[in-house]
Structure 1
Amino acid sequence: MKILFSSALLILCMALPGFVQAQTAQITGTVLDSTSRSPVVGAYVAVSRNTPDAKPEYVTTDVNGKFLVTGLSKESYRVKVSYLSYKDSERVIKILDDVQNTGTFLLSEAISNLKEVKVIGQVAATEQKGDTTQFNAAAYKTNPDATTEDLIQKMPGITVINGTVTAHGETVNKVLVDGKPFFGDDAALTLKSLPAEIVDKIEVFDKLSDQSAFTGFDDGTGQKTINIVTKANRRVGQFGKVYAGYGLDDRYQAGGNMSFFNKNQRISIIGLTNNINVQNFSNQDLLGVSGSSGGGGGARGGAGGAGGASSNFLVGNQSGLTGTNSFGLNYANKFGEKVDVTGSYFFNRTSNNNFQNTNQDYYGKQLYKESNTSGSTNTNHRLNFRVEYAIDKKNMLIFTPRLSFQNNQSGTVKDGFTSLSNGSAVNSTATDQSNKNHGYNFTNDLLFRHSFDKKGRTLSFNLNTQINDKSGNGQLYSKNQYFTNLEMPGDTIDQRNYTSSNALSLGGNLVYTEPISSTGQLQFNYGLTVSNSNSDKETYNNVLPDGSSYTQLDSLLSNSFDNRYTTNRAGIGYRYRKNNWSGNVGIDFQNTGLYSQQLSPINEKVDHTFTNFLPNLMLTYRSKSGTQFRTFFRSSTNQPSISQLQNVVDNSNPLSLTAGNPNLKQEYRNTMNMRYSIAGANHPYSLNAMIFVTQTNNAIVNSTLIAQQPTTLPSGIVLEQGAKLTAPINMDGSWNARTLIAYGKPISKIKLNVNLTSGFNYVRAPGMINNVSNFSNTYAYSQGLVLSSNISEKLDFTASYSGNYNVVRNSIQPTLNNNYFTSSITGRVNWIFGKGFLFQSDVNNQSYRGLGAGYNQNFTLWNASFGKKFLKNNAGELKLTVFDILKQNNSIARNVTETYVQDVTSRVLTQYAMLTFTYTLRNFGKMPTNNNSERRRDFDGMGGGFPGGGGGRPGGGGPGSF
């Protein structure tokens, strides 16, 4: 496989120069505020031939105020720049070179405030700017109270489901506001906090790391990102809302958000308290201490899924009944000409109660059913900080520390029962478990960037640090029965355990770039990473009947383990860019040393060395009409975690034990991604198509041993008949492929936006059951349709359909192959009528077919509200809401893995009514004049990349035009 990919890489590299024939010219420039010299983000730039009646082409400026127009000929063009609250600026440019820089356009504020703006010429709802898809908010009508989350769900290819934001089939990990972080990396929180009325544009792109954005070479660590570009006349003022409500069954909610914007200085505050399952925290709240008592195998999920204990603290994934108390503060400012600062603090405390029924089918080997009642309380403090310091025009420092603290308490009472496929009983358990855990996590990146006098020649060094420490204790009391073991029909476990783990990782990466022609650039890189971690677990048995003495060490369930990784990586890359074509190709050599040592109960050592060649390739074509094609290939490795390596048994469920495997190897992954998109003023529609394929060698998967009779494991633990032991192993043959097509088109005659999505997912998950290899193949076909209104701000409605047909095939028991279907039909309406009256309603029908017995469902969740707006400018609102009018709310999830198929039903929030008062503040003023500190930094060679490099990426681009 490595030889095949390397050969293909070489062929593509040799063929690359042939792709760049018949090039055309391009215009690039910068738009700044004439007073502050800060970039004007989202300004319209109209470029047309300098002839009568020439049709203009429209582009917009990115967060650096830069614009790029490609596909031009060497002649004269008229360039006109316009934006809200500014006077137009226009000039004639004659193109003499392949890349013609227009210089800087300085826009001055209009004398009078404009209440209504007429745009001459039609600007497309969707545009493709470089590698950025840009949506113009004015093309999508929302009601006056809409949030940015409401707005973006009207845009093709963007969805928000249970707090998870996806764009063009990929999860959005970052949401920026005018190119700056907002509440860390919490995408859902940012979208809920900003009103739609301040949004001018939405930009969707793959954000490169700071080092990659500087060099222009994609290092494969980019994240799908949304940048919210605010309106120029909404960047000074105060806005937000506060609300409070109370209802039946003591249901309550209160909270609000408030933002104070003064151009570069921005302060936002948010808070909430409720017991109606409203949650707004992110993956950063997870520290790995959420109820787990240690050990554990590397589980792999399939379609859907309920997850493990940690999933209780993921956005949108927490089932049951949840009460939340949270507070957040975000700050951004610019000090003088050299320092940009952003930071946020977020506090979150949640209490959850849940009841679940679980059904697991181990592909015909046996069945396991469980009912459990659980409760947990999680408290988290999270701090994020970023400082950009421009030392001078050639040198810059970026400092990005992040710190989080977490405390968690949880308790679970479960009853489990195992049977054979013929229904005969094997074993059962009644377990009561509790855990207390706490810990912290600290990460930091320090990046130094230097640009030489020769454009394209750069040097950058990144130093990263990661420290985490966690500890906890737990108690387990379990009564177990073994129906087929006459000698030992049952036993009782009464234990306490104490766990601790800590890790330190230090890494550095040095990158040097050198231009070798007007269109080509070389990169040389070297990186070194050293990671040390250790994990200890001590388990004690109770020796007295009254449960007062946990003094007997259980050596079979105790373990002390140390682990060290040392990685050296060096590589070379070549980057080419000219007009519409760009690409880079490279290869890295990586040497990784793994040293693991088990210190107790026995002393064992593992010493491995891994050597890999990691090729990469990226090729992009962009046309002036808005068509873009991009293909990307990269090889990478993934190291097993210390919990996967630590050979200690976790018996929190005595019928389903888990353990680590110190002999695990690193995974080797080949990833290919192809995208094709059409957007822009020349097209009445937008189209995004994507193919994403990952193939993994030495994939870390699960091996499950189901005891056919009492079996003594190598560790000395006896596995009773029907009990299971799951541990991670390495296997080849893992594939994951996804395709997605998203089509969006406004229908002006009936004032509707139509969005169609079609997708296909294929997952081939290897695993092992009783030392027999099993390959679970899941084929998922999806189809979606969204109709959203564009009628007026007073009537806003959305209707959608989503269907998923899943086919599961496995190699062990073909007779257990399964097809199942899920669908969702949703309707939502917001209507403001009369003298401030409002009606809101949403209906969601969920259907499940082909699941396990008792899990097929068809239910409808209907919520409705009626209210009245009052006070000046309708700032006040009183609203009565009824939740789950039909009393049909339900929660079902299916999870397909390499060793079992699982169906789960969970407790849900049932019908209630609530009366809520909301006060909305909107106070926007004219931008103040500031002659002191708003001048934009303009580094020689920084932030521009190849001409127009970076498209609309905030901070995008590379080290200067050459």
Structure 2
Amino acid sequence: MKKILLAFAMVICSLLPLTAQNNIRITGTVLDKADNDPIEQAGIRILREKDSTYVKGLATDDAGKFLVTVSPGKYIINVSYLGYKESFINVDASKKSVVMDNIFLSADGIMLSEAVVTAKAAEIAIKGDTIEYNADSYKVQPSAVVEDLLKKMPGAEVDSEGKITINGKEIKKILVDGKEFFTSDPKVASKNLPAAMVDKLQVLDRKSDMSQMTGFDDGEDETVINLTIKKNMKQGMYGSATSGLGSDDRYGVSGIANYMRNDNQFTLMGGSNNTNNEGFTDNAGNSFRGLRTGGMNFGGGNGITESTTGGFNFSMTPSDKLKWGGNTRVGTTENDLRTNSRVQFITNAPKGNQFQNTDSKGINNSDNAGADLRFEWTPDSLTKVIFSPSLQYGKNKTSSISDFLTTYENVNDSLNWGNSTYFSEGESRSANARLEVSRKLGKKGRVLSFSISGGFNDLDNDIESWSKKTMRLNSGRDSLSLIDIRTNQDNQGYNWRAYLSYVEPIGKNNFIQFNYSFRKNYSVADQNTYRNDGLGNYTIIDTTATKDLKNIFINQEISLNFKSVRAKYNYTVGVMLQPSKTDNWIITPNKNDTISNNVLNYAPVAQFNYLWDKRHNLRIDYSGTTTQPTTTQLSSVRDESNPLRITYGNPNLKPTFSNRFRIRYQKFNPEKASAIMVFGGFDFASNDIVSRTYSFEGGRQESTFDNINGNWSTNLRLIMNRPLRNKKFSVNSMTFGNYTRSNGYIDSLKNTANILNLAESLGLQYRSELFDFGIRGNIRYTTSNNSLNSNLNQAIYNYGGSFNTTWYLPYNLIVDTDLNYSANAGTTQGFELNEWLWNASMSKQVFRAKNGTIKFSIYDILHQKTNISQSLQTQSNSETITNVLESYFMVSFIYRFQIFKGGAKMTDMNNNDSGPRFGPPGGGGRSPRRL
């Protein structure tokens, strides 16, 4: 046996040199053409020359270099990176290894530098339209998710519902290495993906697919986050599983597994908890939100939510010509909400304004299921085809009860009071698809593109509503109203749009675009309401609430645009004509209305970009848009289902034309690792659609709609971030100001509300190898002044501060604590805020690979958490308190697993790469790299 093994080994050893001789090495370096900076993590794809089939793929290292081993042959090297033009290079590796010349990538004028590559690990970097945060600069626990990382970043805000805003812009989508991740639900990535996998977090205004095809902005850009993954985690599988139990029957379980191989990525995730951690957006609940009564706003940080979710996301590149991916998701949520609100209505009554106090509680249940797919096909270098279908299904069930009391401001006379119950149950279905095709036509810059899209939606909802309301009349007697009704709502609609664009180059780096689009929306909303006949049967038609609405809206857009691109600046100017036609039919048991409206609007467009360099730029935008009034706003049919709040529309409404100006200035100093960003805006509207309210005895109100001019708002936001001389310290500041002039009608009089918001947030952060801390103070001042009645004027101060620190102790112990103070002034008694919110946790990493964590967490140690909000508007001011998740503790176990190609370790998933013996797992901050 030994002789056989020895002979076998000798044969293998003799074959090794032959095998090595058949391996050909291809090496190269990828650089930025503008400044010769190395491009890290550029995608390298090796294709066979004869048929362009995919062979293998990899990414460049820190210095922009790559090395790949192939069998002898002729190949095409495809080099790509988000925000740069792709490069294709033929390589003959038939006989010997190849050392390629430097490969220079040029910034994509269409994408406007949507990616940032910095050789020095600065905390914040700017290049072109992109702001990049270096994830290693923000320490989080090994079990942290992307949301925890975002909360530490200057200019980033995550509210109680998981909505993400960065520098004042709401994030609509999160990408992973430039690829779609659960399409339009950023909450899936922020609440599920481990923060340890993130290398860079890039914020950019991503153009639509059609804009990228044509090179002209179509106004459909969106602010997105792109997460770049650490290079050692792109060839293998990684994930985590969490299980936790706590006091008051709190629990939380979750798991995520991600597999990446070359350009293919697969993610499977799921979880269940009753700690308000909604992993997915409640799309079903949102579909029915506008149909609810009583002002109940379920979801997110309001109340207590129990949710169970699951999903699968994938992205594949089977060949250089085809990319496809998508996701499926399911989820269920239950939200328990209790609300106490106080609304002050402005009136012209001699007894002053009205105050309405409402107490309500309810439960909302939602079930969601959906799927999105995306196919991208490039049959040749001149043609691109993109097809994106999606499906959505939801079930929703809501029940609530409420009590209210309305009084006068100057005297404590009761105007009306009552209580009500509400129950609804419904289903919603929708489907949408878009096909986009682009073809380059010979001459460079000449492009013909078209798209066709469409979809349908169907919603069916059954409602049971009971209310008992009493009004005190001027005569002193009381008027009782009892309503016991059942309603069926059946809303259906479809839409489709066709779009055509032609771009012609004129001279050097000048382009002219002609485009045309045709859009048709059709919707039907049937509402049948029946009253109780006194015997428990719902057979009496309620003529005040039963109605059928049908709307057909046809809109055309014809536009001509001119774009000029220069080394230091580029600009676009254009004009758009928008002829539109609206037909509305309103059918009730008592009357039928037909409303038609033909409108011709024009909307100018302008954009200017100036680039001192890639890290220093200015952008100015202007756009005009037309908004048509809805069928409900146009319908003259009175809705008297609530006798205290009767509503009806105005058939004479005109469309609203909105003007939007935006300015953005950004500068990054790589030597000082400092950044400054300024964002400003100005909006004003012509024929703005506003509410007109009439007040009657007993506190009864009737509301309709009207057009008004003079509504405008302006805002300015300044963000600065700079390390101190000791690089372990950094200071960041955000200053915000907003002024709004809002006009509306109360009875026959015009009221102008001037609302001012001023806010300042200043923070100091310290990071070392053994511990880090952050301290922040903030103050917000909000004031509202009304021209019609100064008694409604109000000034509110919100102020507070926060302190958080993380200690990395011996024996793999981590202590994390945060203390937040919040207070307000100028509010009504009972709505004062003065709370200290203290959370803390201790965790210990276990196992030899440190891939397990036992964590003990305490939330709201001081039992002071509250949820109070204020809103200042043209016709009313409101204050609201909702129930919150009370203090509890939880013990959790987190297990992280990995199978990486090339022997990468679990420490590669930590935010740090090297450090002292008693430092955080994986060590301290990344050492600076030479620019």
Q: TM-score range by the shorter chain?
A: 0.7 to 0.9
Distance 1:200 1:574 in 2: 39
Q: 1:520 aligns with which of 488, 510, 520?
A: 510
Per-residue CA deviations over 1:701-753 (Å, capped at 9, x if unaligned) read 2222221x3xxxxxxxxxxx312233333222221221100101123616133
| Residue equivalent to 1:148 | 146
Runs of at least 5 residues in structure 2 that lack an aligned partner in the other structure: 1-32, 47-54, 66-78, 88-97, 110-116, 347-351, 905-931
| Identity across matched positions, percent | 26
Distance 2:514 2:899 in 1: 51
**Partner AA of 2:331 in structure 1:** N
1:735 is the counterpart of 2:734: no
Distance 2:438 2:103 in 1: 36
Higher relative contact order (CA 8 A, sep 6+): 1
**Partner AA of 2:795 in structure 1:** N
CA contact (8 A) 1:333 1:340 kept: yes
More divergent stretch after superposition (28-37 vs 846-855): 28-37
How much does 1:229 deviate?
Answer: 1.6
Three-state SS of the structure 1 residue aligned to 2:540 is strand
| Residue equivalent to 1:33 | 44
1:499 is the counterpart of 2:499: no
1:530 is the counterpart of 2:520: yes
Distance 2:244 2:813 in 1: 18
How much does 1:448 deviate?
Answer: 0.8
| Residue equivalent to 2:747 | 770
Distance 2:656 2:267 in 1: 42
Runs of at least 5 residues in structure 1 that lack an aligned partner in the other structure: 1-23, 47-59, 69-86, 102-118, 295-306, 710-720, 929-962
**Partner AA of 1:784 in structure 2:** S
CA change 1:271–1:388 in 2 (3 A) is: same
Distance 1:160 1:99 in 2: 32
More divergent stretch after superposition (163-172 vs 561-570): 163-172
User: Aligned pairs, how many?
Assistant: 823
| Residue equivalent to 2:6 | none
1:427 is the counterpart of 2:425: no
**Partner AA of 1:822 in structure 2:** N
More divergent stretch after superposition (862-871 vs 552-561): 862-871
CA change 1:652–1:915 in 2 (3 A) is: farther
**Partner AA of 2:499 in structure 1:** N
CA change 1:459–1:67 in 2 (3 A) is: closer
| Residue equivalent to 1:550 | 538
How much does 1:907 deviate?
Answer: 0.8
Distance 2:119 2:503 in 1: 42
Distance 1:124 1:323 in 2: 40
1:722 is the counterpart of 2:699: yes
| Residue equivalent to 2:695 | 706
Three-state SS of the structure 1 residue aligned to 2:380 is coil
| Residue equivalent to 1:589 | 577
Q: TM-score, normalised by structure 2?
A: 0.83
1:312 is the counterpart of 2:301: no
Three-state SS of the structure 2 residue aligned to 1:226 is strand
| Residue equivalent to 1:213 | 212
CA contact (8 A) 2:784 2:794 kept: yes
**Partner AA of 2:156 in structure 1:** I
Distance 2:342 2:99 in 1: 66
Three-state SS of the structure 2 residue aligned to 1:888 is coil
CA change 1:89–1:782 in 2 (3 A) is: farther
**Partner AA of 1:812 in structure 2:** L
**Partner AA of 1:246 in structure 2:** L
Distance 1:92 1:374 in 2: 62
**Partner AA of 2:509 in structure 1:** T
**Partner AA of 1:346 in structure 2:** R
| Residue equivalent to 2:156 | 158
Distance 1:479 1:872 in 2: 67
Counterparts of 1:854-873 in structure 2, within 5 Å, are: 854-873=830-849
Q: 1:457 aligns with which of 431, 446, 460?
A: 446
Per-residue CA deviations over 1:653-681 (Å, capped at 9, x if unaligned) read 54334444444332211000001000152
| Residue equivalent to 1:693 | 682
CA change 1:120–1:326 in 2 (3 A) is: closer
Q: CA RMSD in A?
A: 3.0
More divergent stretch after superposition (805-814 vs 862-871): 862-871
Counterparts of 1:779-928 in structure 2, within 5 Å, are: 779-792=756-769, 795-926=771-902
Per-residue CA deviations over 1:407-433 (Å, capped at 9, x if unaligned) read 111111111111111221111111111
CA contact (8 A) 1:176 1:228 kept: yes
Distance 1:624 1:67 in 2: 22
Three-state SS of the structure 2 residue aligned to 1:185 is coil
Per-residue CA deviations over 1:77-106 (Å, capped at 9, x if unaligned) read xxxxxxxxxx9987499x9xx9999xxxxx
How much does 1:615 deviate?
Answer: 0.2
**Partner AA of 2:397 in structure 1:** Q
CA change 1:280–1:123 in 2 (3 A) is: closer
Select the structure of larger CA radius of gyration.
2
More divergent stretch after superposition (577-586 vs 844-853): 844-853
CA contact (8 A) 1:558 1:648 kept: no
CA change 1:99–1:372 in 2 (3 A) is: closer
Three-state SS of the structure 1 residue aligned to 2:196 is helix
Q: TM-score, normalised by structure 1?
A: 0.81
Counterparts of 1:505-654 in structure 2, within 5 Å, are: 505-545=495-535, 548-601=536-589, 602-624=591-613, 626-647=615-636, 649=638, 653-654=642-643
| Residue equivalent to 2:393 | 405
How much does 1:696 deviate?
Answer: 1.3
CA contact (8 A) 2:310 2:331 kept: yes
**Partner AA of 1:458 in structure 2:** V
Distance 1:251 1:431 in 2: 32
CA change 1:829–1:125 in 2 (3 A) is: closer
**Partner AA of 1:404 in structure 2:** Q
Q: 1:136 aligns with which of 134, 137, 145?
A: 134
CA change 1:600–1:63 in 2 (3 A) is: same
CA contact (8 A) 2:85 2:108 kept: no
Q: 2:82 aligns with which of 42, 63, 70?
A: 63
| Residue equivalent to 1:713 | none
More divergent stretch after superposition (190-199 vs 455-464): 190-199
CA change 1:100–1:599 in 2 (3 A) is: closer
1:325 is the counterpart of 2:308: yes
CA contact (8 A) 1:40 1:61 kept: no
Q: 1:384 aligns with which of 361, 372, 391?
A: 372
Distance 1:894 1:770 in 2: 25
Distance 1:287 1:481 in 2: 32
How much does 1:825 deviate?
Answer: 1.7
CA contact (8 A) 1:343 1:384 kept: yes
1:370 is the counterpart of 2:364: no
Distance 2:100 2:840 in 1: 49
Distance 1:479 1:440 in 2: 34
CA change 1:147–1:288 in 2 (3 A) is: closer
CA contact (8 A) 2:284 2:396 kept: no
Distance 1:682 1:867 in 2: 37
Distance 1:148 1:688 in 2: 23
Per-residue CA deviations over 1:11-30 (Å, capped at 9, x if unaligned) read xxxxxxxxxxxxx9888999
